[in-house]
Amino acid sequence: MAQLASTWKAPRPQPEILPATVGQAAEYMAWFVNRRAYTRQTDRPNEDSGKYYFYQARDRRTKEPLGLDPLMIQKHLAGEQTVGLYAINPETQCSKWVAIDADYEGAYRDLRTLKWELEQDGVHAVVEMSRRGAHLWILCERPLPARLCRTYIYSLALRLDVPIKGTFRQVDGIEVFPRQDEIGSSEYGNAIRGPLGIHRANMHRYWFEDAPSTLADQIAYLRSVKRLTAAELETFTQGVSIGEWTFWETLCLERREVAGRRYIERRPQGPRDALRRSAGLHGPSEPYLHGGWLDPGILGSHPLSDNPDEEGQAHPDRKGAGDLRGVDPRRRSAQWERRGVGGR
């Protein structure tokens, strides 16, 4: 009896299957599907890691990638399958959305900080909880260049001291989708779990905040969300680029060594628009800063995986003196000075 008790395992929870209509699937595809290739989350954990990986859906006979269609989206919304969505259409190098994934300690505060700052620009972002953190989604009026989408979010995150995974040797931080500026015609880039689907690891469905937890209400809420326009994105990213020193100059960032680790602070204080567009305020450029502190994956130069896993292993807690993440951005400067972090 004792031996039987030691080998007994609790039954796996079953997903809640909801009715999903063809019309809901069609709207979802119009908002979120950038290309027909997609990934699917396995229903069984990996024997070695115990993780529920995403794999690229392929025809069993020909091994060619399967095409995403309304029927599969219906299954995703219903909870029968869980799909991952690629962020870039290789024919246009554009995306219908921007997603910010955060799953570290303090991640939710960082996403709320980004959401607050986005709202100051008139950009509406919606929060979707996830298994270990949350996702922040921005829907676009029409597909917008991946390069500009990434530039905009990176500029905000760096200005607000929100950690970006892979930059300044950060092992914890947000991950921005699209993950690449552009991809080749035979490449796929990275995928993220499609919203409103069930995570197969715990069979839990994660809803968007600010809307009732029913499929019909969630779709109606997404229908009403203000979209990011091309004109807005071009204004926000004017004079800013990733991978060049002008990126750092434009944001007026200064490197400081504090308590044995690197910090960045916003300098000089001034109007938000001036911070976006000013350049060359700190003398000659330092090209080595980029090469020494940015992970190649941040610039999209790493090999593109067709087996992405959006839910990776959690990393050790981000430590360091004067951690001010999650603080209202308007109060950061004064608190930096009181704590002696990057004070002038």
232-275: pLDDT as tens digits = 999 999 988 765 433 443 343 433 333 333 333 333 333 343 33
**Which of 317 and 20 is assigned the larger pLDDT?**
20
Structure confidence at residue 6 as a pLDDT band (50, 70, 90): low
- Rounded to whole angstroms, how far apart are CA atoms 163 and 56? 29
pLDDT at 2: 56
- Rounded to whole angstroms, how far apart are CA atoms 302 and 340? 37
Highest mean pLDDT among 23-27, 200-204, 255-259: 23-27
Q: What is the mean pLDDT of residues 49-73?
A: 92
| Residue/partner pairs of 111-120 with CB below 8 Å, 24 or more apart | 111/136, 111/174, 112/326, 113/160, 113/162, 113/325, 113/326, 113/327, 113/328, 113/329, 114/153, 114/156, 114/157, 114/160, 114/162, 114/174, 116/328, 116/329, 117/156, 117/159, 117/160, 117/329, 118/156, 120/272
Give the position of tokens 């305020």. Answer: 281
pLDDT at 9: 72
pLDDT at 5: 57
Whether the predicted pLDDT of 223 surpasses 70? yes
pLDDT at 243: 55
Give the position of tokens 């069979």. Answer: 203
Q: Which amino acid is at 51?
A: K
Whether the predicted pLDDT of 313 surpasses 60? no
pLDDT at 246: 37
What are the residue boundaries of the structural domains of the chain, listed by start?
A: 16-306
46 contact partners, CB below 8 Å, separation of at least 6: 52, 53
Structure confidence at residue 168 as a pLDDT band (50, 70, 90): low
b/e per residue, 88-101, with b = 16+ CB within 10 A?
bbbeebbbbbbbbb
pLDDT at 45: 87
Neighbouring-strand partners of residue 263: 256
CB-CB contact of 158 with 117 (8 Å): no
Predicted structure pTM score: 0.71
pLDDT at 270: 37
